[in-house]
Amino acid sequence: MRIYVHDSEGKRVVEADEAATLADVTGADAGAKIWAEDASEPLAADATVGLLADRDVVAVHVGKGQVTVSVTYEGVAKPESFGPGTKIDKVLDWATGRDGFNVPEGDRDDLVLRLKGSTDPLDPDTHIGTLAGKGDTLALDLLPGDKFAG
């Protein structure tokens, strides 16, 4: 089974049997926790690959704890905590949705997330724990996507 292993530095792909423990597969250091992608709580220390076998994508994040994300939109910042394996497109759903800035539905699809002060695009499957690096906070801007004219 193909497993995407994300951490504070990036991601890699490993192959493993369902019976293997995620700790062995990921080579997680003692003290590190393993989070399923988009999960808010870590997996049990002895969790096996098979626990995630019913998912379309088997992806985990090796990290320390939750990441507090602060998203700024039209000058207003809102914080929220997520598991480090949360994808950037899930944060976008939160930021534009009812629990975030409650952007009108017709306007939501035009908005993108960028690292605060940056214009570089972010892959929607990037884990916020990777963007936060060794830290536990992440600052993002919610802004309209680039319009190419001229």
What phi and psi values does residue 103 have, to the nearest 5 degrees? Answer: -70, 135
Three-state secondary structure along 19-54?
A: CCEHHHHHCCCCCCEEEECCCCCCCCCCCEHHHHCC
Best CA proximity match to 138, nearest among 40, 71, 74: 71
- Exactly one of 31, 75, 117, 150 binds other proteins (CB under 8 A); that residue is 150
Q: Is 99 in the site for other proteins (CB under 8 A)?
A: no
Applying CB under 8 A, the span of 22-30, 65-73, 103-111, 133-141 interacting with other proteins comes to 103-111
Considering the rule CB under 8 A, would residue 9 count as an interface residue with other proteins?
no
Q: Which stretch binds other proteins (CB under 8 A): 25-33, 67-75, 102-110, 134-142?
A: 102-110
Quick one: CA dihedral 107, 113, 116, 121, positive or negative? negative
- Residues in contact with other proteins by CB under 8 A are 2, 4, 11-13, 56-57, 59, 93, 105, 109-110, 112, 114, 118-121, 123-125, 145-150
